[in-house]
Amino acid sequence: MNNCRTVLLAGSTGTIGRTVLANLLKSDYEVICPVRSISQAKKNKINNKENVTIVVMDICDSGFVKEFCENYERVNVIISCIGSRNGTLKESREVEFEANMNLLEVGEKLQAEQYILLSAICVQKPKLLFQKYKLKFEKALKESKINHTIIRPTAYFKSLSGQIERVKSGKRFIIFDQGLTNWFKPISERDLSLFITKKILKKTAYGKVFLIGGPGPAINPREQGKLLFKAANMSERFLSLPSYSFKILLFTLGPFGIFSQKIRDLKEFLRIALYYATESMLVWDEEDRNYTDKKTPEFGNDTLEGFYEKVLKPSTKGVELPDRKLFG
Ligand SMILES: NC(=O)c1ccc[n+]([C@@H]2O[C@H](COP(=O)([O-])OP(=O)(O)OC[C@H]3O[C@@H](n4cnc5c(N)ncnc54)[C@H](OP(=O)(O)O)[C@@H]3O)[C@@H](O)[C@H]2O)c1
């Protein structure tokens, strides 16, 4: 066994996880990446390398802890970048809570020094099930013996890319209400993964919760649309939809949820849509009872404007679209 530090990286096939892995490869770490399918790993170009071990193990599985600990005897740091892919009620519980609990148990058994959890800024105002499970795990992590570092970022660039194709094809940019009430400080995947890797084994990051945005100032959906039209060199055209339409749909579906899991999942999806159409992704100031741009820490250099310019260059082949696409 050499003296290299070993990192257990969960979620290495995801947007942030694979960027974190790329950063780790530039440093002197041994990395173990449990993945649930080898084809998903291959699709994301996650391969075995000298310092990287890809292992097919389902972290949601009840046998994960035993299987992992039988195969590996040392983990110094756990980095969890997992997140529910579709936001269903079952996945929220399994991924946001149970899988992280399994990882924590591995960490405790193998006496890991640090657990870095990628959470989300929106857990400050928890209304959705996935946020409640994230918070439930944050609490368990804080109460554990392992040093915790919790990172709660604002919206990623990919989450603000869902309308690029729409706009390119000449359609209008959709905003809810006037698109002026909810604000965010988008952060690039590259900047966020750098922020995460900088916290590895940093004692000053132990026991801390970091709320983090990208370079400011904060923007709202109307300004986001303007940036997109500018980068596409097209005149601005907006389609304004009332956010209360989600409330009407939720009310209409109300009684049917009793009979069908699919309808309960659809209702949760509508709640997610309503949340992102109306809430800001900034620090919540409890005293002012409002979100605050000023108190939202900034990190990195990549701007959404620069990102849109890059992806809309005629030579650019494409951009990863958000997983939960609300409109296209
Ligand atoms: N998107 C945003 O704007 C935003 C903002 C703030 C915080 N966040 C949080 O940041 C975290 C990472 O986000 P991301 O966009 O990088 O996520 P992502 O691209 O959706 O990747 C999710 C990762 O979790 C894994 N995963 C999902 N369900 C699983 C399951 N049932 N069993 C095992 N693995 C599973 C995925 O594996 P597979 O590849 O096998 O599916 C993938 O590696 C999430 O917790 C998210 O809530 C996101």
Given this model, what pLDDT does residue 328 score?
34
Given this model, what pLDDT does residue 171 score?
96
Given this model, what pLDDT does residue 320 score?
53
Determine if ligand 1 sits within 6 Å of the CB of residue 151: no
Given this model, what pLDDT does residue 319 score?
53
Residues of the chain with pLDDT under 50: 1, 321-328
What's the pLDDT tens digit per position in 156-166? 999 999 999 99
Q: Which atom number of ligand 1 is nearest to the Cα of residue 120?
A: 7
Determine if ligand 1 sits within 6 Å of the CB of residue 87: no
Given this model, what pLDDT does residue 323 score?
42
Q: 170: CA distance to ligand 1 center in Å?
A: 31
Kindly list the structural domains of the chain, giving each domain's residue range(s) and its CATH number in brackets, ordered by start. 5-157+185-212 (3.40.50.720)
What's the pLDDT tens digit per position in 214-245? 999 999 999 999 999 999 999 999 999 999 99
Which stretches of 196-253 are assigned E, i.e. beta strand? 208-212, 238-241
Against a cut of 0.85, is the pTM above it? Answer: yes
Q: Which atom number of ligand 1 is nearest to the Cα of residue 13?
A: 43
String of DSSP letters for 40-92: HHHHTT---BTTEEEEE--TTSTTHHHHHHHH----SEEEE----SS--HHHI
3-state secondary structure string across 251-306? HHHHHHHHCCHHHHHHHHHHHHHHHHHHCCECEEECCCCEEECCCCCECCCCCHHH
Given this model, what pLDDT does residue 313 score?
82
Determine if ligand 1 sits within 6 Å of the CB of residue 19: no
What is the C-alpha separation between 248 and 251, in angstroms, rounded?
A: 5
Given this model, what pLDDT does residue 321 score?
46
**DSSP 8-state assignment for residue 152:** E
Given this model, what pLDDT does residue 283 score?
98
Determine if ligand 1 sits within 6 Å of the CB of residue 205: no
Given this model, what pLDDT does residue 324 score?
42
Q: Maximum Cα–Cα distance for the chain, whole Å? A: 61
